[in-house]
Chain A
Amino acid sequence: MNGEFVTLLRPYLKYAGDQEITGDARLRDLGLDSMRAIELLFAVEDTFGVVIPDEKLTDATFETARSLWSVIEELRAPARTGQA
């Protein structure tokens, strides 16, 4: 997980307070509800230039910081290969 992603996440996690957001951080436990999830989705797509397909918009994707990050990474991977 990069620092930009963690900074982006924090405002959507109303119960996170000052605690460190690790890969295992459970997003729902930290206050991500369905309303915030859609706002987070838009922020992720704008920031990382990806479009998360509908079939990835499941509870599993939004379970932890790592699970969401891995979906973003997966979608960014082909672009990076293209640039290399």
Chain B
Amino acid sequence: MSAEAADPVGLTCRIAEKHARETDLAATFPDQALDAMRRTGLLGLMVPAEFGGGNGTLADLADTTVRLGRADMSVAMIFAMHCQQVVALSRYGCDKLRSQVLPGVAEGRVYLASVTTESGKGGHLLTSQSPVENIDGVLQICREAPIVTGGMHADGFLITMQTPGATSPAQVDLVYAARDQLRVEPRGDWQPLGMRATQSLPLRLTGSVPDWHIIGEPGDFRSIATQVFAPLAHIGWAAAWLGTAAGACSRVVQHLRSASGRSHVSPASELLLARLAAARARLDVVHALLRHTIRVVESQDDLSGPPAQLLINTLKTQAAEDCFAAVNELVELTGLRHGYLAQSPLRLERAFRDLRSASLNYANDRLRLANGSLSLMDSDVCLA
């Protein structure tokens, strides 16, 4: 067995790590890491076995994403969001669409991107102001999206649009379009603080697809969002953030244990020990929450009730805060030279910038508003 086949994640991590500095500096897509994910079959992890995929579980998704996050958070986010699209298509796509798209994903030929952002809707996932016309069974797509992770590199897209003939922006469909069915035009630049290698450009997508490319019941994207999109996004993101923070913590500990590290900082320093313990505790708490949320999502058929919704949202808000806070603590612990400088081998500076995005990537503030309402609907406080 080749090394690639034995450990596709390890190989992808090594390649991602090798190129992470240049893709971060230039804010360009990690082509080499995506190529490794294609070659090793990693892109097919969540594709059902009947289509030649890895038949992965949510735990597999989380394990893989955590490992990728240790190497490069952008690569981990790209992978996790691709898997979210794969699971939505696998569970809700019609047989024809599944058999047309999923074998290509399993073979590594099809990388899927998500198009849910829209300007003017304040990040609302469940509404769309982009109408789509159905002319004789063909959907006419014209969609502007301000942030599309990996959009210029994707081979297929899952796009939220208003359902044909919609009477309100809350009637939303998820539509699949292959790259060759669309004209994809960049509409601006991507120069963010962190997660720079996700190259999440603003795009305009125009084209047409047959109406059986609608995923799920027409107008009922809400069900997909509740059962798949939100849980997988939150699990995937939390895993990417946890991996990033765990990788940073690991590099710090290795540094503290090295001869050169010990010559600068005494491992007996109580301040150091207390700070290290605080950072580590945050990681263990996020990890426990991640594993518990996965168990709940896997064991409940209906995730629409307030207790499950609250837990799924809390995983996102808590992981975003704690992973960033852990790295912030590590920066404080290691000081200016090792914690703050971009050229430090501990790479805390990049982890810090990358993780600063976590609370904004589907805003914590928005989720807290939703969770406040959900809490009022659960007066018995049934803990999921």
Contacts and interface: CB of A to CB of B under 8 A. Distances in A.
Interface string B179-214: 000000000000000000000000000000000000
Contacts of B226: 59
B171 A29 contact: yes
B138 interface: no
Contacts of A35: 369-370, 373
Interface string A26-48: 00111101110110010000000
B11 to A, nearest CB: 42
A54 B126 CA distance: 24
A14 to B, nearest CB: 8
Interface residues of A, number: 17
A58 B376 CA distance: 13
Given A34-B370, A54-B306, A57-B306, A28 B377 contact: no
B294 interface: no
Interface string B112-126: 000000000000001
Interface stretch (B48-56, B57-65, B162-170, B334-342): B162-170
Contacts of A33: 126, 170
Interface string A41-72: 10000000000001001111000000000000
B4 interface: no
Q: Chain A interface mostly helix, strand, loop or mixed?
A: loop
B316 to A, nearest CB: 15
Contacts of B306: 54, 57
B143 interface: no
Given A54-B306, A54-B378, A59-B304, A29 B219 contact: yes
Contacts of B305: 57-58
B167 A15 contact: yes
Contacts of B304: 58-60
Contact of A38 (B170, B376, B380): B376
Contacts of B376: 38
A15 B379 CA distance: 29
Contacts of B382: 54
A31 B376 CA distance: 20
Contacts of B126: 28, 33
Nearest to A39: B373
Contacts of B234: none
B347 interface: no
A37 B373 contact: yes
A6 B167 CA distance: 19
A42 B169 CA distance: 25
Given A15-B170, A54-B378, A28 B222 contact: yes
A19 B167 CA distance: 10
Contacts of A57: 305-306, 377-378
Nearest to B303: A59
A38 B168 contact: no
B370 A30 contact: no
B374 interface: yes
A30 B168 contact: yes
A62 to B, nearest CB: 10
A22 to B, nearest CB: 13
Contacts of B377: 37-38, 41, 54, 57
5 contacts: A35-B370, A35-B373, A41-B377, A54-B306, A59-B222
Interface of A: 15, 19, 28-31, 33-35, 37-38, 41, 54, 57-60
When A and B form their complex, which 10 residue pairs have the shortest distance between CB atoms, in order from nearest?
A15-B168, A59-B304, A57-B377, A38-B373, A34-B373, A29-B171, A29-B170, A38-B376, A34-B370, A35-B373
